[in-house]
């Protein structure tokens, strides 16, 4: 099983290198619509930089404080350049480099203090939500998310991660832990990050790393090896 997951990670990263053979600074693509989806909600950046969302909103993942699910798109903000959706949380980077988050923060996936946030009991778990977008940090370039984890590449190329269920046993933070309620630095010189179900892939100029199966990121290959693997 681990062998199959490693092969999948190698294939995905080979595709990364074929698409980004000449790695540049971590700047998101602009000028075309960008879309992403969580577990029942969808987000899209339009050509004019407006961010829209629709679908489930019962944990405020659409940034709409009504909590009502929406069948048609609603505008969330202006000047968005990068967006990501976890299961029940959302992240966006604005043109000024500010990173905003909203929705579920039960596992620290927004990297924000829970003080003053809306909360509710779901069985034995106390859930926390941010009803509207709140700033997490400045200097962000792009974001990625999966489940209850969040990842951001800053303008200086550093990769940061936060969130995670302590009971999951998945080392998807990249610093040897399974959960971090506040952003922690994982590595330098990153140009692309992709968040899958049980693996995270981080791409440097000529190296690729994966974490999830091991406590710390594992180097998958160097640029020379990827030139052999890529078409």
- Alpha-carbon gap, residue 19 to 8, rounded angstroms: 17
Q: Tell me whether residue 229 is in a domain.
A: no
Q: Tell me whether residue 7 is in a domain.
A: yes
This prediction has a pTM of 0.79
**pLDDT tens across the length of the chain (231 residues):** 444 444 444 444 444 333 333 333 333 444 446 777 778 999 999 999 999 999 999 999 999 888 999 999 999 999 999 999 999 999 999 999 999 999 999 999 999 887 766 777 776 677 888 999 999 999 999 999 999 999 999 999 999 999 988 877 788 888 888 889 999 999 999 999 988 777 788 888 888 887 766 666 777 655 444 333 333
What distances in angstroms separate CA 138 from CA 74, 155, 156, 177, 182, one per listed residue?
25, 9, 11, 24, 14
Domain interval for residue 151? 2-217
The string of pLDDT tens digits covering residues 85-103 is 999 999 999 999 999 999 9
Residue 12 main-chain phi, psi, to 5 deg: -60, -40
- Please state the domain count of the chain: 1
- Alpha-carbon gap, residue 125 to 117, rounded angstroms: 15
∠197-199-204 over CA atoms, to 5°?
Answer: 130
The predicted structure's pLDDT at residue 177: 86
Q: Tell me whether residue 231 is in a domain.
A: no
Residues 6+ apart with CB under 8 A from 93: 28, 80, 81, 82, 83, 99, 100, 140, 141, 142, 143, 152
- Are the C-beta atoms of residues 171 and 212 closer than 8 Å to each other? yes
Q: Tell me whether residue 225 is in a domain.
A: no
- Are the C-beta atoms of residues 210 and 220 closer than 8 Å to each other? yes
Exposed, middle or buried by CB within 10 Å (0-12, 13-18, 19+), for 122? exposed
Q: Tell me whether residue 230 is in a domain.
A: no
Q: Which helix (H) or strand (E) holds 2?
A: helix 2-19
Q: Tell me whether residue 77 is in a domain.
A: yes
CATH number of the domain within which 7 lies: 2.130.10.30
- Are the C-beta atoms of residues 201 and 16 closer than 8 Å to each other? yes
Q: Tell me whether residue 9 is in a domain.
A: yes
Q: Tell me whether residue 73 is in a domain.
A: yes
């Amino acid at each position: 099983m681990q062998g199959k997951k490693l092969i999948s990670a190698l294939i995905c990263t080979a595709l990364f290198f074929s698409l980004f053979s000449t790695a540049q600074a971590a700047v998101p693509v602009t000028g075309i619509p960008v879309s992403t989806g969580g577990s029942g909600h969808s987000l899209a950046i339009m050509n004019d930089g407006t961010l829209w969302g629709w679908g489930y909103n019962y944990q405020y993942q659409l940034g709409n404080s009504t909590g009502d699910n929406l069948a048609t798109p609603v505008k969330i903000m202006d000047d968005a350049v990068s967006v990501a959706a976890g299961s029940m949380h959302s992240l966006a980077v604005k043109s000024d480099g500010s990173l905003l988050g909203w929705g579920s923060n039960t596992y620290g996936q927004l990297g924000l203090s829970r003080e003053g946030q809306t909360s509710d009991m779901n069985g034995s778990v106390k859930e926390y939500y941010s009803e509207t977008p709140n700033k997490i940090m400045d200097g962000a370039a792009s974001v990625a998310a999966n489940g209850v984890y969040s990842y951001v590449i800053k303008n200086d190329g550093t990769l940061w991660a936060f969130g995670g269920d302590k009971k999951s046993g998945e080392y998807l933070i990249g610093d040897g832990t399974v959960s971090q309620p506040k952003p922690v630095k994982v590595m330098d010189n990153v140009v692309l990050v992709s968040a899958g179900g049980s693996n995270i892939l981080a791409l440097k100029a000529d190296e690729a790393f994966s974490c999830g199966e091991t406590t710390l990121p594992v180097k998958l290959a160097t640029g020379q090896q990827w030139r052999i693997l890529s078409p």
